[in-house]
A and B are shown apart, each in its own frame.
Chain A
Amino acid sequence: MTIAKKAFKNYRIWMISILAFLIVPLIKPSFISMNNIEGILASMITYGIVALGLAMTLITGEINISIGSVMAFSSVVFAIMVDKFPMVIAIAAALACSTLFGLIDGYFVAYKKLPAFMVSVAVMVSVRGLALAVSGEQPIAIMSDSVMKLGMAKVGPIPVLFLFFLVCVFLLEFFLQKTQTGRNMYAVGGAAEVAAAYGLNTEKYKCLSLTFCSFMAGLGGILLAIRMCSGSPSVGEDAMPSVLPMIVIGGTAISGGKGGMIKTLSGILLMNLIFNIMSMFNIYVNIQNLIKGGILLIIVVADKYIENKNKKI
């Protein structure tokens, strides 16, 4: 009994996902067709990568809403660079820019103690403007063959980019659970004062996590550009409301100090399944957005309600 309870507590999101795979095919057999499963896997890649970065930020107890703009900027930079230079240089340039934005964000939030979301609103606005300026306010097509091949490449039925995403998940999980820096991230997010009293440089870890979040957002933008074969300054406008539920459903608390990458993976899988199933049943896209907003509200309210239940003020 206790084992079952424990298993349910730790793996309930995985169980719900598996349940969906068992039940939905009874009504819609095409759900488990190879095409659809490939579609689900492919849809997990970009926002999944971004979710990993944001999960790291949430674990240290901060938040970064500039991810959508950073995605757009890095996809545009990648698209412009990749036709003129080798792909490695294009990727490096896009990632360097994204990391720089993250550093700006992290510097003001961690060292200057400004509220994280207001700083990221400022960064969001300017980076979106930069993306529009760099791209000339229109999408940029990628002509390079190697990018197209990379976007389509598969190992068996699984896209290569998805494998890359999985590798990222496991690497980051290892980093968070087994390395000193990773454990310190949890300490900083769970109780910043205690961590500081213990002698940890909390500012450094907060800055690091915000920079890393921006880095992953940049990586997500590049992957999106590879998959779409174009870079557009308007991608990622719904990044924040799409990504946040994935992380929080997985079990990472907004207040920080809890969570992990494998848990986040389960959240990413479940949210993508939900939207895939809704599309299967021909639910109108506006209603899907309504449900997305509803899920976000319920998650945030539940998470915060449990956290603040015993507070009087």
Chain B
Amino acid sequence: MIRIDAKGKNFRQLNGEIRSARDPEIEVENCLGQRYIGAGMSGKSLLLRGVPGNALGCYLDGGAIRVRGNAQDQTGDTMNAGAIVVEGSSGDATGYSMRGGKIFVRDDAGYRVGIHMKAYRDQQPLIVVGGAAGSFLGEYQAGGTIVVLGLRSGGKAPVGNLCCAGMHGGRMILRCRRLPADLPAQVAAAPATAEEIAGIGGVLDEFCACFGIPKRTVMEEPFFVLKPNTKNPYRALYTFN
């Protein structure tokens, strides 16, 4: 394990040191807004203390990033594989266009989480948010799974406005007693079946173990599964001229 002190370093210097570190186990201390940490990384494991900047783990292609603190915007932008764990909250557009790997956020996440997330064959991306997410959750979602647990939402839908806008693939799982009132017409939502709850059991186990949350607490509220009812939402939009 190698230790890097981020204090006073700009992103280019810090990321250069992380890239050139020979040891695949890296601990970075005193992160303070440095962007692009772990950009395109694979085969390394980062433990970050402090607050990393925007685009943490963008194009991540394997390996693992764990943040002891909050993350900012575009965490895991276009990530392809690997894992990002945030022991706190993450900002807007978390998991933007991610195609593989997983992002676990212990607390809340900002607007447009999982926007344009997509899946392909064995690449099935996953985002789990322990708290609540902001508006436009799963906008244009085309694949993968977004789970929002709302552990401090008291059973209310743990999302903001316009959840699932433009969703045309994948699925979303919300832990709440009542669905958001403004779901778009192209989304079909239903209480999770026993089979579906069993299906996410492994994910919940992993999330709970990751943050030391008792699984029993998580299972105290019901779950809803939201899926698009078409993968071609704009078929009737055009006429050939």
Q: Do A and B bind each other?
A: no
